[in-house]
Structure 1
């Protein structure tokens, strides 16, 4: 049975959310420590971890993905009314609301459980000046964490125009992460996601991402990361640790991208691949969320285990937002 576009979009978001929640329990632990505690991998969402989360509670990965997702809901409504909004500004506004506590199950003024340093600095600057880290030039260079790659997925799911996808991917990354390795990684990742949503094979989608990286970047760092991901085995890294990753999968954007490429090319079921990505250790929640976004787009929402989906803080919320966006888009195009 063929997988529909809505099923792929919803699957990508639910898979990313579930993988984030699964990996949060083991955040920052080594592959060796995880193997000792869970010889066959952590298979259920149980909460806890360094942030003391409830089972299925979103980390900043999922919260900020939701902020970008809400920006695309805003865009769909504004487009339907004849407008042409700047989706990056919309996304930045929702991110700022999240930071300030204007968010489901939070109190106004209450800080998030966790926020990365680079993300915090970028959002504080936006709140004070209305300008992104990357506004007006190459600000934010030298900070190449995975904090924008973890949230960029909605652009790949909803932007079908190739040029607009690249522009929006770069702009949304540059709200907090303007280093070329981050902006180009987001663009390449979203090109992969777009192709998967369109029903292209993982191999074809990865080649599209590679083409984008070669087009946009001044050197070959992102393209090299994609090529590296094509050679990796997620199962081998899960069994032996993050061999070949100098930062040991601990938050460097290029390593997270390489893991995601390896994951989407892995022919096993989504559940098995996500569990093994967590087993690699390091930045377990974010690496898993990034990889699972592509796996969900590849396999659709039915591939995400029901026992995971039933625990997700924003499971119903994500499905409803997707439905609203697609309905609004359909109505405006008709």
Structure 2
């Protein structure tokens, strides 16, 4: 897709913003460390997984599993692409990551056991286990699909309807509840609009949600713009996670690119699942303000799965993945996107 330099910067900010929000939120997850009023969030590490300073958690690692497939040019609505994403999820899971959501752990663990027993079709099996989990656990619309959804938007900037299908399919690999799919559709469309048009519209994807759920989502999004961000906790539920991120963004004055930092501060101060809420918010903030809005020290510090020759992925690799995903040779030859 042909993008202007400004649009390209915003596209490269999506995954970077996700990772930065994640790493900033890690130390404060579930109040593992208190963020005092006179402090600003720092990439201190620790948290539930005893992460290194600047290391991202499962939120960005699972987003990377998607981004690596998107960067190949694969059609994310196809079985082959979904298989590749599911295989990446398992590759990450097999490494015994220190922080995995309960629902994701259950679905990936059951999938791994079936694959090891000789079953074929990894994405089909994963979706089957996702549905099985949802049937057994009626309150299964967790935030674990929404937290990783940003790369889907980068891959499908040109086609909002295909984007909605892909977002729901990728969500369904681990989260079969329709609300989890809805939240991913809404957030992906908001990211797409921010990259292309340079503004934030959290309601842009309402028409992509089934008609019978549109009024409820309209009210939920209205609440996110009018109620204090701090009311959206606990936020392990995909709806309150989306409301938390949305409230932090739209209720923080957006006078200039420092909005990126200030809105992440607000998101983390909501509390509870801080790394996930900040990762979700970071994806949309990166889409609005671009990679250039990310402070240099945060770029230098942020890192995580997957490792390459013994070293973790870096901010530059996130940016390069996004460039390769959105660019063709004519559009991006001058940016050296394919190096």
TM over 0.5: yes
Q: Match for residue 311 of structure 1?
A: 301
Contact 1:8–1:301 (8 Å) recurs in 2: yes
* Matched position secondary structure for 1:325: helix
Partners of 1:264 and 1:97 lie apart in 2 by 33
Q: Structure 1 residues 121 and 50 mapped into 2: Cα distance closer, same or farther (>3 Å)?
A: closer
Tell me the CA shift for residue 133 of structure 1: 4.9
Q: Match for residue 273 of structure 1?
A: 263
Q: Structure 1 residues 217 and 282 mapped into 2: Cα distance closer, same or farther (>3 Å)?
A: farther
Within-5 A mapping of 1:38-117: 38-74=36-72, 76=73, 86-101=80-95, 111-117=96-102
Contact 1:64–1:95 (8 Å) recurs in 2: yes
TM-score scaled by structure 1?
Answer: 0.81
Q: Structure 1 residues 321 and 200 mapped into 2: Cα distance closer, same or farther (>3 Å)?
A: closer
Q: Match for residue 19 of structure 1?
A: 21
TM-score scaled by structure 2?
Answer: 0.80
Tell me the CA shift for residue 5 of structure 1: 2.1
Unaligned runs of 5+ in 1: 102-110
Contact 1:180–1:217 (8 Å) recurs in 2: no
Q: Match for residue 244 of structure 2?
A: 259
Q: Structure 1 residues 201 and 249 mapped into 2: Cα distance closer, same or farther (>3 Å)?
A: same
Unaligned runs of 5+ in 2: 304-313, 334-339
Within-5 A mapping of 1:167-206: 167-202=165-200, 205-206=201-202
Structure 1 residue runs of 4 or more that deviate by more than 6 Å after TM superposition: 331-334
Tell me the CA shift for residue 114 of structure 1: 1.1
* Matched position secondary structure for 1:176: coil
Partners of 1:22 and 1:87 lie apart in 2 by 31
Partners of 2:30 and 2:130 lie apart in 1 by 33
Query: What is the CA RMSD across the aligned residues, in angstroms?
Result: 2.8
**Structure 1, 277-286 or 114-123: larger mean CA deviation:** 114-123
Deviations 1:156-194 (A, max 9, x none): 122121221111111111100010110111111111111
Partners of 2:9 and 2:315 lie apart in 1 by 14
Partners of 1:174 and 1:290 lie apart in 2 by 18
1:147 equivalent to 2:119? Answer: no
Partners of 1:276 and 1:218 lie apart in 2 by 28
Tell me the CA shift for residue 19 of structure 1: 1.0
Contact 2:14–2:151 (8 Å) recurs in 1: no
Tell me the CA shift for residue 220 of structure 1: 4.5
Deviations 1:49-76 (A, max 9, x none): 23211111120001001001011013x1
Deviations 1:257-301 (A, max 9, x none): 112222332333110110121111100100011011101101111
Partners of 2:42 and 2:214 lie apart in 1 by 41
Contact 2:143–2:180 (8 Å) recurs in 1: yes
Q: Structure 1 residues 137 and 146 mapped into 2: Cα distance closer, same or farther (>3 Å)?
A: closer
Tell me the CA shift for residue 216 of structure 1: 5.8
Tell me the CA shift for residue 155 of structure 1: 1.0
**Structure 1, 167-176 or 318-327: larger mean CA deviation:** 318-327
Contact 1:181–1:221 (8 Å) recurs in 2: no
* Number of matched pairs: 301
**Structure 1, 309-318 or 139-148: larger mean CA deviation:** 139-148
